[in-house]
Amino acid sequence: MRIEDVYIWDINAKWLGISPFQLMENAGSGVAKTIEERFGNGLKIAVFSGTGNNGGDGFVTARHLSFDNDVTLFLVGDEAKIRSEEARHNWGILKRLDFVEIKVLKDSAYIRNLDLSGYDVIVDALLGAGTKGEPREPIRSAIEKINEYAGKARIVSVDLPSGYPSQIRVKADFAVTFQWDKEEYEGFERVVVKIGYPRELYHLVGPGDAKFALRKRGQHKGQNGKLLVIGGSENYYGAPYLASKAASYLVDLVYLAMPSAPAGKITDPDLILRPFSGENFSIEHLDGLLELAEKADAVVIGPGIGLEDETKELVREFVRRCEGPIVIDADGIKAVAGDLDILRDKTFVLTPHAGEFKVLFGVKPPESLLERAELVRAKAGEIGGVVLLKGPYDVISDGKTWKYNRTGNRGMTTGGTGDVLAGLVGALLALGNEPLRSASVGAFLNGLAGDLTKEELGENFTALEIIRRIPKAVKWVEEF
């Protein structure tokens, strides 16, 4: 697991009703329990806390250790700068305790004269994993002071040695890290303690995933994603329009390539319409589409594109020659189903419903979530890409890990919601997200917008109503 996953899990845990207060309590108690298991009790212990959430974990650690030990809490910094509600709450508890001594060290002058020679254990809860670069004062002086006692007192860090990975870091005997080891951590001993995350968080897509996926990258037009949507036919113009309109709320530019006959029905100034001669796509349009694709960061192909033999040939050849990330949806799935070898070494997302999944792989998905997840994972691994199986619970896998999404409601059985999903996944790819995250968060946002629509309108609505609530869904994620 990565450090980034810590933040995603914390946010998703909150979405499940597991409060940050619970997680901080469990983290601090886990550190205290580890210290007492290793070193016993009746000890003289110094806890150094910063003003962030790592310091909040230190406040809880100090309280738990105070039951059987003599504890002094050193706050490094100004108490007015204690940031989070849960850290302030635990600081307030400590201030009401008579048997925990508190010393506030506002600047480095207070720290340099400290004598820690009487302490058996020093707990480092100064900085967490989110800090960048070398520590600044007064934290830097606190790290240097703690390191004066390396080899004399036992030094235990909360989550990771403060200052890591810079050269100015605490020389800890070990760190107590939470729930799982992190792949970025190396060069120091780690003890892993559980803090109450449920198993769901390995797989459930939530607002934490979406927060990271929706981050803006640039300040100028076009720097936040350009998407090409290829679709439409003599019979269908709504599907590619819905995909394009949904995407337009997330990326800077959406190019909509359609045959000229259905393209004549589109009059939306938010989209850049690129009509191609005729009623249906055919191989003669290949070079023009590839030229358009070179301008885009990602491509969606398939919505409403039809099943004419000449169109399926065009889809297969486009996928074979397209070099960027691509979402293959709807009729596009049926076109590539007979020649999955064209997907080799491509970056892609397939978005089948159960019937299309059977067309692709020759097997009907089972009803059980775990059985569906294992099947999707296996098939994604076989074809070397991401498969998003749509259903009451969407299941997504890249062949290694799998995710599931449970936003959405029965009103979303209405036509066009799959096109909205394809557009959102394509937009997230165009923003630079990896395919697994794009597919997972696309499913989450699609369902969330559907749930917001249901709140306002009940279960009877259209795909356009969902699209209109995409900005509201994004705002909900950003404010969560």
User: Do 446 and 357 have their domain in common?
Assistant: yes
**What are 226's strand-pairing partners?**
253
**Closest Cα partner for 333 from 352, 310, 314?**
352
User: Do 214 and 146 have their domain in common?
Assistant: no
Q: What does the pLDDT read at residue 376? A: 98
User: Do 31 and 119 have their domain in common?
Assistant: yes
pLDDT under 50: residue ranges of the chain = none
Domains in the chain: how many in total? Answer: 2
Q: What does the pLDDT read at residue 189? A: 97
pTM: 0.93
Q: What does the pLDDT read at residue 420? A: 98
| Tokens 């419903």, located at residue | 353
User: Do 382 and 438 have their domain in common?
Assistant: yes
Encode burial over 28-57: b for 16+ CB neighbours within 10 A, e otherwise.
Answer: bbbbbebbbeebeeebebbbbbbbbbbbbb
Q: What does the pLDDT read at residue 240? A: 98
Cα 39 from Cα 37, distance rounded (Å):
6
Q: What does the pLDDT read at residue 338? A: 86
Domain boundary among 173, 198, 223: 198
Q: What does the pLDDT read at residue 191? A: 97
CATH number of the domain where residue 172 is located: 3.40.50.10260
User: Do 445 and 469 have their domain in common?
Assistant: yes
How is the beta sheet containing 121-125 ordered, strand by strand? 100-105, 70-76, 44-49, 121-125, 154-158, 174-178, 190-193
| Tokens 């070193």, located at residue | 39
Q: Which residues contact 242 (CB under 8 A, 6 or more apart)?
A: 303, 416, 419, 420, 423, 463, 464, 467
User: Do 171 and 224 have their domain in common?
Assistant: no
CATH number of the domain where residue 222 is located: 3.40.1190.20
Whether 396 and 443 have beta carbons less than 8 Å apart is answered as yes
* Other residues' Cβ atoms within 10 Å of the Cβ of residue 414: 16
Residue-wise pLDDT tens digits, 362-419: 999 999 999 999 999 999 999 999 999 999 999 999 999 999 999 999 999 999 999 9
User: Do 187 and 213 have their domain in common?
Assistant: no
Domain boundary among 198, 227, 262: 198
User: Do 173 and 215 have their domain in common?
Assistant: no
Cα 134 from Cα 97, distance rounded (Å):
34
Distances (CA, A) of 139 to 84, 172, 175: 19, 16, 18
Domain that holds residue 20: 3-198
User: Do 19 and 117 have their domain in common?
Assistant: yes
Distances (CA, A) of 68 to 62, 174, 342, 422, 426: 11, 22, 66, 58, 57
Q: What does the pLDDT read at residue 217? A: 75
Residue 191's Cβ-count burial label (10 Å; 0-12, 13-18, 19+) is middle
User: Do 150 and 275 have their domain in common?
Assistant: no
User: Do 122 and 257 have their domain in common?
Assistant: no
Q: What does the pLDDT read at residue 223? A: 84
Domain boundary among 152, 180, 198: 198
User: Do 190 and 216 have their domain in common?
Assistant: no
